[in-house]
Structure 1
Amino acid sequence: MVASAALASRALADSGCLSLTRMTALITGGTGFLGQALLAPLAARGEVFAIHRPGTSPPLCDGVTWIAQDLSAPLDADLPASVDTVIHLAQSRRYREFPEAAVELFEVNTGAAVRLLDYARRAGARSFVLASSGAVYPSGPEPLSEDTPPAPSSLYASGKLAADDAARHYAEFFHAQVLRYFFIYGPGQRGMFIPGVIQRVREGVPVTLAGQSGIRVNPVFVSDAADATLAATEREDSGVFNVAGPDVVSLRELATIAGEQLDAAPTFEVTAPGSDLIADTTLMRERLTAPRIGTREGLRRTITADTPAGAIKGG
C-alpha cells in the first residue's frame, strides 16, 4: 500500500500541480488510500501532522509526525497549537455496517468533523478541507452539480451531509472547502467499487449490471483526487466541489476495459435498470484543477501495478 501511495505521489509531482506555498498541515485518514497519496506532497510544503488510529502502525514518511487519536472520541491527543490547514479524510472502517456500527459511523463522519472544525478555529487555521461524498446526491441520468438538492439514502451519506453543513457554518473563521469525491480508484486500492469490478473480471465472476449497460459513473484516479485536494487548501474562499474523473462510463464499459487489460472476457448478469451517479465537474475544472487521467489510462495503471509481471496482456 505504501509503494502504491508513493507511485501516486510521484504522478502528482509529475503533473506540475504542486503548490510552492509553505504550510503546516494536520491530516486525518493519512493511512488511507487518498491520504497516503497526499503525505509526500504535503511534507514537501512544510510540517505535516497525521492522525492514525491507536494500536496501528502508520507508514514511515519523511516529514510526517504521526499522532494516535481515536476519532470516534473527543480529541485528547497532543495536537499542534497552530496549523495552516486541516484536511479531514478519515471515515469509519465500518461504514457498511448499519445499524451495528451506526454510532461509530456518526461519531467519525460527523462528530469528528465538528471537533476538527473547532480545533482548526482554535489553532488559527486559514483553510479546512473536508472529504465528503457524491453519495449525498440523488442518483439519476443527469450530471449532478453542487447545487443539486441533496438526497442521502444511507446513514453514511446523511452523516457526510451533516458534516458538510457544519463546515459551512465555520466558514467565517477560515476558508472551508467541501470536496464530494466520486469513486476514487488507483493502484493498491482494495474493497471498493472499481477494484471489485477488476477482481470479478480477473476471476471470471459475472459482473452484475443494473440494466443492459449498468450504471454510469465518472470515477476519479487517485492522483487527480490528490491534485484537487491540494488545490483546495490554496483557495481564498469557501465552497463545495465535486471531484470526479473526465470520462463518463458505464459499468459494462469499465468491465470491458478491464478485460482488455487482463486479456479476459468479462461475463455479465443483467438485473433491473438502476440509476446513474455522474458528477458535473465544471467547478472542479474552473476553480481547483482539471482531471488528467482518463478511465482507460487509469485502469491500465491500476491493473499494471496490481498484477504480477507477465500476467497482463502484452506483459
Structure 2
Amino acid sequence: MSADHPSSDSPAHPGTRSGSVPATSSVVARDLDDIVAAALPWEKLFGKTVLITGASGMIPAYVARTLLRLNDTRGAGIRVLGLVRHPSTARGTFADVIDRSDLALVEGDVTQPVHLDEPVHLVIHGASPARPHLHATAPVDTIRANVQGAFHLLDLCRRSGDAAFVLMSSAEVYGQRPDDDGLVTEDGYGAVDILTPRASYAEGKRAAETIAVSYRAQYGISITIARFGHVFGPGMALDDGRVQADFTADVLAGRDIVLNSDGSARRTYTYLADAVSGMFTALLVGEDIAYNIADRDGFISIRELAAAFAGARPERGLTVGFREGVDVSGYSAVRGQGLDDTRLRALGWVPHVGFRAGVDRTIAWHEERRRP
C-alpha cells in the first residue's frame, strides 16, 4: 500500500536522515562520474574547505561524495567537513570513505552555534527535517533547524572571513498559488497558511532565505539559494513517507501501487544526480541569488509517477489503483508545484540522467543493496 504524500523534497529538496549509500554501488559510481563530467569551473572549489550540514542526508551525502570524486579524478585537494547529529548513522552512510584524510565528520546540531577548529571557505546548509510527518509532529524542531541554523551558519561564514553560503531550500517556499497547474519561476510566490503546524517547513525555509539575503546585504557574504523540487535517487529511505519512496518500496516488494487520492496533484520530480549537478551549476556559474533546481520534464502527476515506477520493471506486471475514503487532511493543499528550470538551463545545465532513467537507477540501487 502506498501513501500519497504530495509534499516537498527539499532535499531535497534535503534532510538529516535517509538510507545509507553502500560502499560498492555501480549506480552511485556512475552518478558521480556523470556529475563531475559536467563542463563547470570546478577549479573554483580546488583547495577549499567545505562544510556540509546534514551530511548524512540524501542530497548532502551526494554533494560530499561529488567533492571527494573531484579529489580522486582531478586532484582537487578539497577538504570535506560533514556536520551530523548522529555520528553512527553518518559513519554507515560514508562507510567506504570514512577513513579518508580529506573527509571529517563533525558531531553537532545547527540549532546551536557551530564552532570549528579550522576555517572554512564554503558552507552548504542541508540540515533540516525533511520527512513530511515531521513537519506536523515536530514543527518546533523543523522551524528551529531552518531559522536558527541559518543564523548560526551565516555567523560561521562571517567568522571565517569570506566564506560563501549555499542554502538548500525547497519548492515549498512558493506556497499555494492561484495558477497551481503551471510551472513557477523564481519570483512566483503564493500563500502559506501560517496558522498550521505544517507551515513550519515552508515558513522556516522562507525565513532562512531572507536571513541569507540579509547577511549578504549587511555583511557582503556570497550566497546561493538552491530551491529543490522533489528529488529521488540512491540514499532515499523506503520509509521516508513521500510517494517516490513508497512507489520504490512497492516495486521492490512486487506489490501493486495503490494511491490514497486520485493522484492528480503534480510535482517536479528530479533525479538526484541531476539535482546535485544543478546545485553546483548555480553555485559555480550563477549570477542570480535563487535558482530552481528541477527538471521540467519531470513535471508530472502522482498518478503518472506511479505508472513510471510500476512500468520500470514490466516483467513484474504491477498495476496502479486507487483507495477509497482516505483522510487527506494531512497532505499538502498545493495541487501543482512544478518548478520552472529556465533560469538554471540558461547557465548551461541540462539533466544528464533524466526522469525515466533516474527511476530505473533508483530501483537498481535498492536492488544492489539486496544482493548477497
Tell me if both proteins adopt one fold, taking TM over 0.5 as the criterion: yes
- In 2, the alpha carbon distance for the partners of 1:232 and 1:239 equals 9
Superposition deviation, residue 169 in structure 1: 0.7
Of 135, 144, 149 in structure 2, the residue corresponding to residue 112 of structure 1 is 149
> How far did 1:266 drift?
2.1
Decide which of 129, 133, 146 is 2:186's aligned counterpart. 146
The 5 A counterparts of 1:94-109 are: 96-98=133-135, 100-109=137-146
Query: Which of 110, 118, 142 does residue 71 from structure 1 map onto?
Result: 110
The counterpart of 2:222, out of the listed 165, 175, 184, is 175
- 1:207 Cα offset (Å): 3.0
Tell me how far apart the structure 2 counterparts of residues 307 and 189 of structure 1 sit (CA, whole Å). Answer: 13
Answer yes or no: is 1:31 the counterpart of 2:56.
Answer: yes
Deviation string 1:20-41 (CA, Å, 9 cap, x unpaired) is 2212211112111111111133
TM-score between both structures, scaled by the size of structure 2? 0.74
Q: Which one of the candidate residues 21, 29, 35 is aligned to 1:2?
A: 21
Q: 1:216 aligns with which of 250, 255, 266?
A: 266
In structure 2, the residue matched to 1:268 is 321
Change (3 A) 1:222 1:146: same
Give the 3-state SS of the residue equivalent to 1:187 in structure 2. coil
User: Paired residue for 2:281, among 214, 218, 231?
Assistant: 231
Tell me if the contact between 1:125 and 1:174 (Cα under 8 Å) persists in the aligned partners: yes
Give the partner amino acid of 1:287. Answer: L
Residue aligned with 1:50, SS: strand
Offset at 1:114?
1.3
Looking at both structures, which has the greater relative contact order when contacts are Cα pairs under 8 Å and sequence separation is at least 6? Answer: 2
Structure 2 match to 1:42: 67
**Aligned residue in 2 for 1:166:** 211
1:305 aligned onto 2:365:
yes
Does 1:286 pair with 2:319?
no
2:172 paired with 1:135: yes
Contact 1:175 1:235 survives alignment (8 Å) = no
Task: Name the counterpart of 1:187.
Answer: 234
The yes-or-no answer on 1:256 pairing with 2:279 is no
- CA positional deviation for 1:146: 0.7
1:88 aligned residue (116, 120, 125): 125
Measured after TM superposition, the shift of residue 210 of structure 1 is 4.2
Q: Number of aligned pairs?
A: 308
User: Are residues 188 and 70 of structure 1, via their aligned partners in 2, closer, same or farther at CA, if it must alter by over 3 Å?
Assistant: closer
1:86 partner SS: strand
**1:10-55 CA-partner distances (Å, limit 9, x unpaired):** 3322445471221221111211111111113324231222111155
Equivalent residues in 2 for 1:193-204, closer than 5 Å = 193-201=243-251, 202-204=253-255
Structure 2: distance between partners of 1:243 and 1:38: 14
Amino acid of the structure 2 residue aligned with 1:13: V
When residues 160 and 309 of structure 1 are mapped into structure 2, their CA distance, relative to the original with a 3 A threshold, is closer
Is it true that 1:155 corresponds to 2:206 in the alignment?
A: no
1:49 partner amino acid: L
Computed over aligned residues only, the root mean square deviation of the Cα atoms, in angstroms, reads 2.8
The verdict on how the C-alpha distance between 1:309 and 1:226 changes in structure 2, with shifts beyond 3 A counting, is closer
**Cα deviation digits, residues 41-100 of structure 1 (max 9, x gap):** 32423122211115534323431122111222232x43423x221100111367623555
Q: Is the 8 A contact 1:18 1:227 kept in 2?
A: no
Structure 1-normalised TM-score?
Answer: 0.86
1:52 aligned onto 2:77: no
Task: Check conservation: 2:169, 2:226, Cα contact below 8 A.
Answer: yes
% identical aligned pairs: 25
Contact 1:73 1:107 in 2 (8 A): no
